[in-house]
Amino acid sequence: MNIPEPILAWLLEGEPWVRYLTRTTLLDLPENDAQISQDWVDMLDHPKIRNILAESLNWPGQVVNGHKNAALIYHKLAFLSELGLDRRIPEIAQISEKIMSHDSDAGPFQVVMNIPKHFGGTGEDSWSWALCDAPVLAEILCRFGYGEDPRVQKAIRHLDGIYRPNGWPCAGGGLGKFRGPGRKEDPCPYATFIMVKLLSAARADYSSPNLLAGAEILLQLWKSSREQHPYMFYMGTDFRKTKLPFIWYDILHVATVLARIPEIKTHPVLNEMISIIRAKQNPEGLFVPESVYLAWKDWDFGQKKEPSRLLTLFVYSLVL
């Protein structure tokens, strides 16, 4: 997909993270480019970024009682990692050490979680991990520049080792008898997806055959989306709505991760997903969010009336 000059100009009129990503991803300019350097400074000085960094220093923040909660600190850190922030920033280095200081004996990093007794938990706040949070933390740390850290490597090895021939199941540590709403033998689509995301981010430092196997499972879930809904994860109408940030199980998030894997990038099933996303552009070639997270209502992708620069950027990045 060629990017029309008017769209590039529109993106470069946006907030500093949009300008930074436009120049580094769409235009592929070197990091030492003077405009990119200024975008980086402007991004780090922006109140929205400063607020997330300040909040994240209070790690772990609120108790996790629902992993889809868009206000959770680790989802905000994942967003910062997508923007390109890393360990060069003192706050990121401090936050990363706080995360790694709470590794479990098995390796995965923990959050403070509270699972009610009627769901099989203890009903008390405790440091625990699940396959719907631990891979996110490890992936964030890889993107922040800690992929070679022995603690991160240990976490990835353990999480990778939970793989079964049909994907990753619902699993965790310190969760009591809790297990998600699905058959024990089924894979969890979200756990499988974020493990694929983790393994693709860690590939330079950790190689696993389960990366491609997991990606193929996600493609198969798309092909059989009308018949298979393991753990109540559907690929229907809501799944196909474009939204940011990358927090849960939706078409743009899944397609973006799969497109980062060279062996999968040209797969016809992925191309089908991308075609559905591309068809959502307005007459000007821009993209309006179709679904939003209220916790992000102050961002340009937190509304459904006007085109979002960041959403438009991610869609165009996807198809390059």
> pLDDT at position 177, please?
62
Cα separations in angstroms, 279 against 153, 240, 265, 286: 40, 11, 19, 11
- What was the pLDDT predicted at 236? 84
SS3 167: strand
Task: List, for residues 150-159, the tens digit of each pLDDT value.
Answer: 999 999 999 9
Per-residue confidence (pLDDT) for residue 116, from 0 to 100: 67
Residues 223-253 have pLDDT tens digits of 877 766 665 567 888 999 999 999 999 999 9
In DSSP terms, 111 is beta-bridged to: 128
C-alpha span between 106 and 134 (Å, rounded): 12
Mean pLDDT for the chain overall: 91
Helices 47-56 & 90-100, crossing angle to 10 degrees?
Answer: 30
Tens of pLDDT along 150-199?
999 999 999 999 999 989 998 877 666 655 566 777 788 999 999 999 99
Distance CA 93, CA 144 (A): 8
